[in-house]
Structure 1
Amino acid sequence: MFSLEKLSSLNDLLVGFWKIIYLNILWILFTILGLGIFGIGPATYAISKYLSRWLIYKEEPAVFKSFFTYYKENFLQSMLTSWIIIFIFYVLIVNIFNLQIWYLQIINVLMLIAATVSFTHVFNSMVLLDGETIKDIFRYSMMMGFGYLHYTIILWTVILACYYLMSISYPLLILIVGVGLTALSIAYVAKKIIGDIQTEEQKINI
């Protein structure tokens, strides 16, 4: 028999699941409204900031209103940041498939992996370092990615495993929850990293 506590936990889980689907839909919608290239950065910033407030600060503001506000508030910086990331990934992927020399392909594969680690926390860093320059945001993201490499490896292993399981069972789930699940996973790891940083700082100050 379910206790009230278990029912409450189940309700919170279901509400959270539907919220991730809603955020995923909003991300797709606002990315399309921004014609893709102009909207993907601000939409990613918006979902990152909402999840940051939800997981780190335990706040649950109205989803659509908050998402729209966040989408607009840092539009130019988030858009330019996304362009930098897209350009770097584009160059590396083109090199991997077009270079004929095998060791140059391997170098580009390694650079692609390094870029993925470096850029994992870019938009969470933008949320945390509100008002800082793009250079500082990339530097902080790189510190989070490489400084806590074990978290980053676990994070992408879990994300890729989830995508694989969805692709072989219900591929439509990738469209419904793919971005939301990825953003949630990254935000959760960012929360863990921030907690570790604060713990280390407290030890130093003692």
Structure 2
Amino acid sequence: MLSFEGFVRINTAATAVYRLAYLNLLWVATTVLGLGVVGFGPASYALAAYLDRWVRHGETPPPARTFWRLVRERTWHAVLVGWVLLGTGTVVVTNVLQAADGTVRALNVVALVALVVVAAYVFPVMAATDITSLPRQLGAALLLGLGSLHWTVLGATVVAATTWLLWHLATPLLLLFGAAIPALVVALVTRIVFSPLVESPGLPGRTTHHPHGTPATEQAS
């Protein structure tokens, strides 16, 4: 017979799955409404910021209202980040596919890997720190991914395995969760990576929680 505690755990897990699917649908809607090139950045920032609050701080505010507020929070900066990622990605992928020289192609493959790492971490960096300039955000994302390379590789493996399983066994679920799967994995990685910053008061630039509910970074005095 199912105990009350077991029922609570099942209900909590089901609510989390529903919330993750809802966030993915909000991400898709925002991206589509922004015609991709305009919507991708704000949607990805809002998703990363919400998951940061959920995974690191245990907060689960109303998804839709909070998501739309986060979309409007740093709209044009997030759009610019999205343009940089999409533009650079287009150039690099084109070079990988069309470059005649093997060395050039290999260098572009390396650049593509670095770009994927930056794309995975730049929006969590925007959401969880007080780094404001675009070059520093991109640099911090790359350093974060390479500095925690073992977690990055493990996260990429989990995302690849989950995507492969859903693609072959339950394609509709892949459409339902899509972008939320890698975003959640990155949020779990950043929770581990950022935790020493929170636990070390003497460490400069440590992450903390903004009084209005938005993650920020507190500079040590």
Question: Shared fold by TM > 0.5?
Answer: yes
- TM-aligned CA deviation for residue 3 of structure 1: 2.2
SS, match of residue 179 in structure 2: helix
Contact 2:197/2:203 (8 A) holds in 1: no
Partner in structure 1 of residue 8 of structure 2: 8
When the two structures are superposed, what TM-score results if normalisation uses the length of structure 2?
Answer: 0.87
Deviation at 1:103, TM superposition (A): 2.1
Q: Deviations over 1:30-76 (max 9, x none)?
A: 11111111111001111111111111111111111000100111100
1:82 aligns with 2:82: yes
> Displacement, 1:197?
4.0
SS of equivalent to 1:181: helix
| TM-score of the aligned structures, taking structure 1 as reference length | 0.93
String of CA shifts for 1:169-196, please: whole Å, max 9, x gaps. Answer: 1222221101111111111111111014
The one-letter code of the counterpart of 2:12 is D
> What's the CA shift for 1:128?
1.3
- In the alignment, which residue of structure 2 is the partner of 1:50? 50
Distance (whole Å) between structure 2 residues aligned to residue 2 and residue 79 of structure 1: 48
SS at 2:38's partner residue?
A: coil
* Structure 1 unpaired stretches of 5+: none
Residue aligning to 1:122? 122
Letter of the structure 1 residue corresponding to residue 71 of structure 2: Y
Matched AA of 1:191: R
Opposite residue 145 of structure 2, the aligned amino acid is G
1:35-114 aligned at under 5 Å gives the runs 35-114=35-114
* 1:56 partner SS: helix
Residues 118 and 146 of structure 1 are in contact (CA less than 8 Å); yes or no, is this contact kept in structure 2?
Answer: no
Aligned residues between the structures: 204
Seq. identity, % = 28
Maintained 8 Å contact 1:119/1:145: no
Gaps of 5+ in 2: 205-221
RMSD of the alignment, in Å? 1.8
